[in-house]
Structure 1
């Protein structure tokens, strides 16, 4: 299976999840707006999400997958199964201890980390503590789910792991639908959502466990022991946890600062949801697929193929994210208005969210490039270098966020996150090149220049068309007119960008099809999932 087909498998499933995420956020905007209960729920939910990225997705995608791939190469399925059971026993025990400790310390965590700005509002603070306590076990479910996802990805079964997040959105949409149908108060709506998060975590874990069994691997619980394999995993996972969670780390810093302004947390969340669509569909798909592919190529000694995988993946990433960044900058107001402006979501809120989204859009290529660059380190079992780079980036984010927030509020926090994201991407790329782990490709450089030209032409054209369609996109226009007008803008932007990109050589069918096809040399005796 070619890389592009694997990207499409993961990206397509992620796209479905993100579309449902939009539906969820639209209902959330109508039910809660940017009121205190929305702030409380988003603040509480951000905390287990932070730990999920730190201890689950980031750590396991970086550390578990290369070691699991090595076990497959060395000992086949039986060796990989034994390694998985060793890890599962230790992971389950550690997660249980973390969950108990965090539940007991939740009031202090909310006061000092999650939302220090809520301390002066006793009701809002108390609700945030209670909601966070309900949702924190979601971390345990999702950490185990991340391990199961890593196993499936390494066995070339990508679809089940990619489709699992859909269940979170389905459950939360159901909770919001129930709240709106029954006319529930904002407080009761927040409670419905919190219990929905926990239920969705259990459901996702069950689906992934069934997927692993379907892939032909049955894992059981072993008494936790610090075997050499587990020690090696922890040695790699601790710095990888910091690196993989850079976005969440920066967002939790932004949340701490934003908690001092009413509604700011919700504004950042609504903007984050929109730019997460291209980030998830492209960036996460590339990161999920590239790491096991790169790890297995390197374990087999195919350095040339590894370099080709990296360059073609970066080509693919920029081909899709540069136009997305341009569109988010130009029509952020129109996007936010159509998606959110109804119910408790006012035109004034649209303006603030749109301004924040436009800045996130400028940072989008940097955020996605990080997903394509980190596997170059992780596949070589180097997790310390990205961690050091990440820590510098977090420090820059902190300084910028604290400096800019008093003047630009939510836009200042978005600017800090975008700047730190670009800094991380640039330093990661330069480090890989200097070490000889990323062979410079003239074809990639010329394509990027041409893609930038196509993006600029598309953005200018889109700006003029949006002005011409202002009446149909106005808040007073019927919703159906607004939706159709936004659809026309998106279709026009895609036509202009792809037309120019192919015309001037920024893209061709070979880039999309032939150049990113896997060579047979790296195949093993493990069958592809073909899901």
Structure 2
């Protein structure tokens, strides 16, 4: 139950982060709509946010956690904290250099992205926004290192809440500074929200420092970087930057292609991706965070069979939540977009467009959630270059499909989202089958028996969603906001009850485990 308990703690914290993140997107879309101005803001934020995703939920945090967990297991706390100081000092120097280069080259980057029919004013606007937000990556990267340190000692909830601090800070300060710049919240008010993003990065660090201090860590700059453990962290990290960030790189590539589509395409991709990430963050990211330190400790000895069982349980756990999430978002995607984003200047046309994009994204939800579980295991096994090969192939697929969809077939942004789904599914299958070969199996009996029950229960959930959409949610976009929220809640609530009932009757292992724990209490 340790895996499930820790995953649920991390999931609860991530749920708060995703909700506040969604609130941030609602503020943006309701004030500025699916317009070229908001497209510029999202485009300007894309590069520092891409690096944040790679560091905060990817390469740096995972690489550090893997090596530091092994160091702590073998040599004790003092050695682990000494390693942390060395990495923190080196990371600070690296981030100063990266932020400086990002600010200096923001102009040429935005010029490349805004090539074509876009005006010079749009390009300059995006450049200014980008320069304001570039320091965010420095703060976010240090926050990721702190998160890894807390994960190492078994603290999973608070590090995830750091993102909630970012979201709340960026909303409040964005509104305040934006109102000061332009009380009518025209495009120039986005400068205020750009400032809020950077200050929000500072808030991520501030909320974690007190807990880190209580663990026994004391910050002391350490420039003794000629340490094999430090080199191992960077050696694991550099190839896994691409490996763990395939989806993020795909989203960035999508942004470049989306700028050549109708206005609001970047906004549709971004807002739909936020809804798509909500369930993934709840179970995929959280379970992956818990699996990595546990697997790293197992690999100190000869624990490959134990690792295989742990991975099977992790995949089964995420599937229990991913299957209903996939079905709900694919069937009720437009209704969810309407319930969350249909405010102010985000009109019905934008809702339908974004709902179509979300439906395409949902096809890759199972693959993305599974990848969050199996990809970190490669770090524990120190198979650092294998994920890089998968990433290279996946990015080639992404570019090829996007070019075909946009410039040859002249499709809309939903097809760019479909590319993301194809890439994430490919990525998971590659990781899973390679890992299965390396471990001599992944406890297939445990995995398949659980998945079969989960899929069977999912059929009943999908039937309820289809029936609710066809018979109960007719004319949904014209309903009032309270009616929309009540309607979607009733349909999803009924579907969830049916799913849990079916899972109970089918004796789904995850539901059985939760039930047994409560009965024991």
TM over 0.5: yes
Match of 2:59 in 1: 59
Q: Could you give the per-residue CA deviations for residues 411-453 of structure 1, whole angstroms, max 9, x where no partner exists?
A: 1101111001100101111101112254332132122122222
Match runs of 1:164-179 below 5 Å: 164-175=162-173, 177-178=175-176, 179=178
Q: Distance in 2 between matches of 1:441 and 1:55?
A: 32
Deviation, 1:267, is: 0.7
Q: Is residue 191 from structure 1 mapped to residue 191 from structure 2 by the alignment?
A: yes
Match runs of 1:22-37 below 5 Å: 22-37=22-37
Q: Is residue 497 from structure 1 mapped to residue 499 from structure 2 by the alignment?
A: yes
Secondary structure class of the residue paired with 1:344: coil
Match of 1:94 in 2: 94
Secondary structure class of the residue paired with 2:76: helix
Match of 1:274 in 2: 275
Whether contact under 8 Å (1:61, 1:291) holds in the other structure is no
Q: Could you give the per-residue CA deviations for residues 348-402 of structure 1, whole angstroms, max 9, x where no partner exists?
A: 1111100110111111010100001112211112221111111111111111111
Whether contact under 8 Å (2:57, 2:285) holds in the other structure is no
Deviation, 1:510, is: 4.1
Match runs of 1:277-356 below 5 Å: 277-356=278-357
Match runs of 1:95-174 below 5 Å: 95-112=95-112, 115-117=113-115, 120-174=118-172
Q: Which runs of 5+ in 2 are unaligned?
A: none
* Between 454-463 and 123-132, the greater mean CA deviation after superposition: 454-463
Whether contact under 8 Å (2:504, 2:512) holds in the other structure is no
Whether contact under 8 Å (1:56, 1:241) holds in the other structure is no
Whether contact under 8 Å (1:62, 1:383) holds in the other structure is no
Deviation, 1:247, is: 1.3
Q: Could you give the per-residue CA deviations for residues 150-169 of structure 1, whole angstroms, max 9, x where no partner exists?
A: 11001001122111000121
Q: Which runs of 5+ in 1 are unaligned?
A: 516-531
Greater relative contact order, per chain length (Cα 8 Å cut-off, separation 6+) = 1
Match of 1:474 in 2: 476
Taking structure 1 as reference, are residues 508 and 276 closer, same or farther at Cα in structure 2, changes over 3 Å only? Answer: closer
Match of 2:412 in 1: 409
Match of 1:253 in 2: 253
Taking structure 1 as reference, are residues 180 and 496 closer, same or farther at Cα in structure 2, changes over 3 Å only? Answer: farther
Q: Distance in 2 between matches of 1:148 and 1:119?
A: 43
Q: Distance in 2 between matches of 1:288 and 1:404?
A: 35
Q: Distance in 1 between matches of 2:500 and 2:274?
A: 25
* Between 320-329 and 372-381, the greater mean CA deviation after superposition: 372-381
Q: Distance in 2 between matches of 1:356 and 1:169?
A: 24
Q: Is residue 201 from structure 1 mapped to residue 201 from structure 2 by the alignment?
A: yes
Q: Is residue 488 from structure 1 mapped to residue 490 from structure 2 by the alignment?
A: yes
Deviation, 1:37, is: 1.6
Q: Distance in 2 between matches of 1:211 and 1:119?
A: 50
Q: Could you give the per-residue CA deviations for residues 480-512 of structure 1, whole angstroms, max 9, x where no partner exists?
A: 111111111111111111111221233454444
Deviation, 1:56, is: 4.9
Whether contact under 8 Å (1:373, 1:429) holds in the other structure is yes
Match of 2:265 in 1: 264
Secondary structure class of the residue paired with 1:401: helix
Whether contact under 8 Å (2:335, 2:477) holds in the other structure is no
How many residue pairs align between the two structures?
512
Whether contact under 8 Å (1:53, 1:244) holds in the other structure is no
Q: Distance in 2 between matches of 1:470 and 1:57?
A: 37
Secondary structure class of the residue paired with 2:381: coil
TM-score by length of 1: 0.92
Secondary structure class of the residue paired with 1:343: coil
Whether contact under 8 Å (1:59, 1:237) holds in the other structure is yes
Match of 1:520 in 2: none
Q: Could you give the per-residue CA deviations for residues 174-206 of structure 1, whole angstroms, max 9, x where no partner exists?
A: 145445797433323211111001101011112
Deviation, 1:308, is: 1.7
Whether contact under 8 Å (1:89, 1:222) holds in the other structure is yes
Match runs of 1:206-225 below 5 Å: 206-223=206-223, 225=225
Taking structure 1 as reference, are residues 436 and 303 closer, same or farther at Cα in structure 2, changes over 3 Å only? Answer: closer
